[in-house]
Amino acid sequence: MTRSAAGPDPAEIYLDHAATTPVAPEAVAALGRGVALHGNPSSRHSAGQAAREAVDGARAAVARLLGCAHDGVVFTGGGSEAINLALLGTFAAAEWRGHLVTTRIEHAAVLGAAGAAATHGVAVTVVPPDPSGHVDPERIAEAIRPDTLLVSVMHANNETGAIQPVERITEIAHAAGALVHVDAVQTAGKLPIAPLRADLVSVSAHKFGGVKGVGALRVPAGHELTALIHGGGQESGYRAGTENVPGILAMAAAAEVAVTASADPVVRAHREHLRARLLAGLAELDGIRVHVDSRVMAETVSVAFPGVRGDTLADLLDLRGVHVSTGSACHAGSESPSHVLTAMGVPADLARSTARFSFGSTTTEQAVVAAAEVTVDSVRGLRRSWGATPAAVAVGAG
């Protein structure tokens, strides 16, 4: 499809908010204000101080999103960096001693940082989820050892939407003397994250209407954290580098909109309604399987369509103006089935037949209904054409 450089094609149905969201108009305006503030926030002169004040104001707004004091906010270059700072910064400060507990359904940023910590000598236990896609807090309790320094669990899974029992896990970890990091990248701006009692919380601006490449980590007072990026001592010494003033201002503006929306029962009810409408439309197809349908974010719908490949379906939907994903955006193009679905015990062929539909602030009922119709028609067409090739059907059915 051809796309205008000025923004999304108005005819497109964008159901990939879990990969990234359209930038909120408030964030676009803030971005412009940030670009106009040409001073370096570390400069003494008034141009620098104007930029400093703007960043301080933005920090207060992001602190409200994260539920912490404003000096507890460390701006980063995105969610992956916030996560790496949380995990590697905590273990580096402990001279790479101690034990990390995490789960098999985490985002690659957590699993990658855990792997990097292991190369420094940190012991790592990776807990599997239940077949429902949820991590049982008792499995975390069993994994915790006397030397467990940190437990890292996601608030909701990016592929399935499964909401994890992070409050119960935090209670268990704290009772055992361990710290907790929550990857709230998928939930910020959708579920309230300020009340989370975790110590460290990671968020990413582009998942709630900000721009890509900006994130934040909530760090409690007195937490021992070693910077990963060394230099001029910005962000209280936790993250060197001249601040991304436009991106930070845009993140703050998006956070204010998102915090208000996430607290609004009308918005929540609308998203639940969108989910129900999508599933009702898709239910016209035989044999579909919704991977997680309880304790799940309304906004994320992961469905297996036996008899078709998820990547083929996503490509066909794209040609028809509907943007969905086969799972995590980072796995697009990968032949191996999703590590999340595999960890849940979903057979490889069913995992490969999966598509993820994800909504957000700009999603309308009309778009969801139309997307369901196009999907039903596309799956029927693909099943018919695969039906002409028995071997191929055997790969997809399962």
Question: Minimum Å distance from CB 78 to ligand PLP?
Answer: 3
List the interface residues with ligand PLP, window 180-199 (CB under 6 A).
Answer: 183, 185-186
Q: In whole angstroms, give the CA distance from residue 342 to residue 336.
A: 10
Chain center to CA of 61: 20
Structure tokens at 296: 């799940």
Site pattern 59..88 for ligand PLP (x: CB under 6 A): -------------------xxx--x-----
Question: Minimum Å distance from CB 81 to ligand PLP?
Answer: 7
Q: In whole angstroms, give the CA distance from residue 77 to residue 183.
A: 15
Site pattern 124..163 for ligand PLP (x: CB under 6 A): ------------------------------x---x-----
List the interface residues with ligand PLP, window 205-224 (CB under 6 A).
Answer: 215
- Out of 54, 109, 217, 304, which residue is the one contacting ligand PLP (CB under 6 A)? 109
Question: Minimum Å distance from CB 83 to ligand PLP?
Answer: 6
Nearer to ligand PLP, 329 or 395 (CB): 329
Nearer to ligand PLP, 154 or 285 (CB): 154
Give catalytic status of residue 330 as yes or no: yes
- Residue 225 binds to ligand PLP (criterion: CB under 6 A): no
Chain center to CA of 342: 19
Site pattern 24..63 for ligand PLP (x: CB under 6 A): ----------------------------------------
- Residue 107 binds to ligand PLP (criterion: CB under 6 A): yes
Question: Minimum Å distance from CB 20 to ligand PLP?
Answer: 8
Q: In whole angstroms, give the CA distance from residue 97 to residue 124.
A: 11
Instruction: Point out which residues bind ligand PLP (CB under 6 A).
Output: 78-80, 83, 107, 109, 154, 158, 183, 185-186, 204, 215, 329
